[in-house]
Structure 1
Amino acid sequence: MRRFDPTPLYRATIGFDRMADMLDRALAADLQAPSYPPYNIEKTDENAYRISIAVAGFSAEDLVVEVKENALVVSGRSADEQGEREYLHRGIANRAFERRFQLADHVRISGALHRDGMLHIELVRELPEALKPRQIEIRTTGDRLLQSNSDQAQVAA
């Protein structure tokens, strides 16, 4: 099994250790990851996403969608069937499940909809104003900026 060494990332970046750890976990994960229930992840807009999970046989009351520590956790627990049934063939999987999706910073869940055997979860990325790109004015005249920096240095001394 190959192991990813994130050390070169640490040399040139600050604050991305969580991402490197996540990459390391993804590469170390078992190749036989659970495939039930099947799901799609789609980008619906520049800052909007949708996760669609096939949950045939589950009602909305059987499903739980929650956010824990930057992870979206979707779980389903089927209500116990009343009485025993005798199946000749049981091809519809109606077993309990738990799916986890790691969320990036500033991604929030805007809603969830259960319809026609599908659970659709809407996500939105909302960057705070402080993180949005801004352009800095470059002046060519005046030395007010230099004076204020030297004044601050004298006060600190």
Structure 2
Amino acid sequence: MRAYDFSPLYRSAVGFDRLATMLETAARTGEADGWPPYNIETTGENAYRIEIAVAGFKPDELNLEVKENLLTVTGRKTANDDTNARSFLHRGLAERDFERRFQLADYVIVTKADLVNGLLSIELNRELPEALKPRRIEIGTTAPMIEGRKTKAKAA
């Protein structure tokens, strides 16, 4: 992967430093192993779902944390004492620890997380504050002034 220099962006734009930092971080880490696999889908206008394949993990071995618009999902396997007693011909199921990070947009909050059939589903909603939501402004009509007094506007 190529390295990009974002220093011109820092010099000429104000307030975009967070975006450039996110791009630099994504270019550096890249999450090359791709494990565990995941899906991100939109379930509504302001609703999203992240599904992560975590087969073999129990709910108490998984941790979700949101801090400063960064959702971190970690899986830490507890030691299995029965693995020493088992003899594998092929061991293809990954039982390793993991950490996945997802950068959340402003006002996106995690509303729920469920573990069903080896899939961790994380529900997210974007909840804009009332001050940022579009609002309709009523257009009023005023009666024209004729000879120093108001006249009533006729309804169409």
For the aligned pair, the TM-score class normalised by the smaller chain equals 0.7 to 0.9
Using the aligned pairs only, state the percent identity: 55
Is 1:115 paired with 2:131?
no
* Separation in 2, partners of 1:24, 1:73: 18
The letter of the residue matching 2:59 is A
Match of 2:36 in 1: 37
Closer, same or farther: CA 74–109 of 1 in aligned 2, 3 Å: same
The structure in which a higher percent of residues are helix is 1
- The TM-score with structure 2 as length reference comes to 0.77
* Separation in 2, partners of 1:54, 1:40: 9
- The TM-score with structure 1 as length reference comes to 0.77
Unaligned runs of 5+ in 2: 143-156
Q: What do residues 3-40 of structure 1 show as CA deviations (whole Å, max 9, x unaligned)?
A: 153645874x65332122212332x3255623110000
The letter of the residue matching 2:121 is H
Q: CA RMSD in A?
A: 2.6
* Separation in 1, partners of 2:103, 2:121: 17
Match of 1:24 in 2: 24
Match of 1:92 in 2: 93
What SS does the corresponding residue of 2:81 show, helix, strand or coil?
Answer: coil
Unaligned runs of 5+ in 1: 142-157
* Separation in 2, partners of 1:9, 1:32: 26
Q: What do residues 46-73 of structure 1 show as CA deviations (whole Å, max 9, x unaligned)?
A: 1000000000111111111111221111
> Is the contact made by 1:76 and 1:96 (CA closer than 8 Å) also made in structure 2?
yes
